[in-house]
Amino acid sequence: MNGVRPTQSGRRKSNVRRDQTFDELAGKCGEWLRGTGPESDIVISSRIRLARNLADFPFIRRCGDEDRLSIERTVRARMDKITELTDVRYFDVDELSEVDRQFFVERQLISRELADNDGARGVAIDPGEQFSVMVNEEDHLRIQVMHSGLSLETAWDQINRLDDLLESTITYAFHPKYGYLTACPTNVGTGLRVSVMMHLPALVITRQIDKVFRSLQKISVTVRGLYGEGSQYTGDFYQVSNQITLGKTENELMQQVAEVVPLLIDYERRARQFLIEQSEKDLHDDVSRALGILCTAKKISSEETMHYLSKVRLGVNLGLIDDVAVKVINKLFIHTQPAHLQKLRGKLLGSSDRNIERASYLQQHLSGQGKRESGLN
């Protein structure tokens, strides 16, 4: 066999690619936003990641182009040999367009860092979007498992097994005393980061959130929140994760996070109860207005959308809004992000055109038939 292979035409990076896989993904909402699983009215997702490095390569910062290519090739070749991973799809992130990379970031399948890095790098994603393996991020491998709702133990079982499979063909950098070696000493040891994303709007409305977090300060967890534009827009999403990675077992680190989450759920439930008892009319008014704005706005930014969707989500979960399905809200959180919006509309849009498209998209899915149906599009 010595036929000449037809040369591949150069790939264009400027268009929104109508790739079947991407269209399929865009239509779905991703495992972590399914809005199911234990405590899913408050806990959005449970995520675990492991940082791993190949033993016979320098860490990424000291890798030249050739090294990065060899790492990528090695990892892909080894993963191909694992029969349990035959369904996994590998994406060459360096070849992806800007909007495709952003699309993966919005779905939390890759990090912003991997999207923005240079050189050979990629991500392997399973069809159910429950796990992904980033290649050549800050470490050679970042293995991640994400589940909807609160399910750390299931997520751990899955990632532990995945790690075993990879380790059966890849020699990891490991030190008897310091454990799995990572580019940054803040990740060394277990290489484990456990993160639970929570929706805590009632704690925000009742202005208790800072107090609650301060009371948790002694425990070794990090809580991070995202606010937009001063007091004007607030996101109400918070992420609880372990702070350290060395000196404790994976199970102990998971427990640190697992112990904090029920406390936060309890505080949030009490705050919701308090709001219903003390000021139901005000709350009802607030969430209804939020829905009104989302249904009627003619241009709207993604931060503003996030802010009002958060209120509507609270209203739906408290039964104050009863004609919108929570599944629809969950999907809208991700479908109104910039890259998703462009994918779903099938064209590249500038920021101000996006605001117009976003408003029309919201209107389409929050009024009439759309608001009860989970199959958006």
Partner 1 sequence: MKCQYCEKPATFHITEVLGADGPQVMHLCEEHARTFLSKESPTPAATIAGALAKQLKLGGKPSAETEQKECPVCGISFFEFRNTGRLGCPYDYTHFESELEPLLVNIHDAPRHTGKRPQRAPVSADSQATLIQLRREMEEAVEREDYEQASEIRDRIRDLEASGNRGSDD
Considering only residues 97-156, where is the footprint of partner 1 by CB under 8 A?
105, 111-113, 138
Query: Taking contact as CB under 8 A, which single stretch among the options 37-45, 58-66, 92-100, 359-367 is the one that binds partner 1?
Result: 58-66
- Which residue among 11, 38, 66, 280 contacts partner 1 (CB under 8 A)? 66
Answer for the pair 232, 248: CB distance below 8 angstroms, yes or no. Answer: no
Least distance to partner 1, CB of residue 135, Å: 17
Residue 42 or 376: which CB sits closer to partner 1? 42
Of 54 and 287, which CB lies nearer to partner 1 in the complex structure?
A: 54
189 counts as binding partner 1 under rule CB under 8 A: yes
**Which CB, 64 or 262, lies closer to partner 1?**
64
Q: Which of 21, 36, 168, 377 binds partner 1 (CB under 8 A)?
A: 168
User: Under rule CB under 8 A, which residues in 258-277 are in contact with partner 1?
Assistant: none
d(CA 89, CA 124) in angstroms, rounded, equals 5
CB of 9 to partner 1, least distance (A): 29
Tell me phi and psi for residue 304, to 5 degrees.
-65, -40
**Tokens standing for 99?**
């909007």
- Distance of alpha carbon 175 from its chain centroid, rounded? 31
If binding is defined by CB under 8 A, does position 206 make contact with partner 1?
Answer: no
User: Which listed range, 3-11, 26-34, 242-250, 266-274, lies at the site for partner 1 (CB under 8 A)?
Assistant: 242-250
Does residue 227 interact with partner 1 by CB under 8 A? yes
241 binds partner 1, rule: CB under 8 A: yes
Interacting span for partner 1 (CB under 8 A) from 20-28, 174-182, 282-290, 320-328: 174-182
Nearer to partner 1 by Cβ, of 176 and 319: the residue is 176
Q: Would you state the structure tokens that stand for residue 108, as one six-digit string?
A: 């939390």
**Rule CB under 8 A: is residue 62 a binding residue for partner 1?**
yes
Minimum CB distance to partner 1 smaller for 144 or for 148: 144
Per DSSP, what are the bridge partners of residue 260?
none
158 near partner 1, judged by CB under 8 A: no
Q: Which of residues 290-319 bind partner 1 (CB under 8 A)?
A: 303
Least Å from the CB of residue 263 to partner 1: 14
- 51 Cα distance to chain centroid: 17
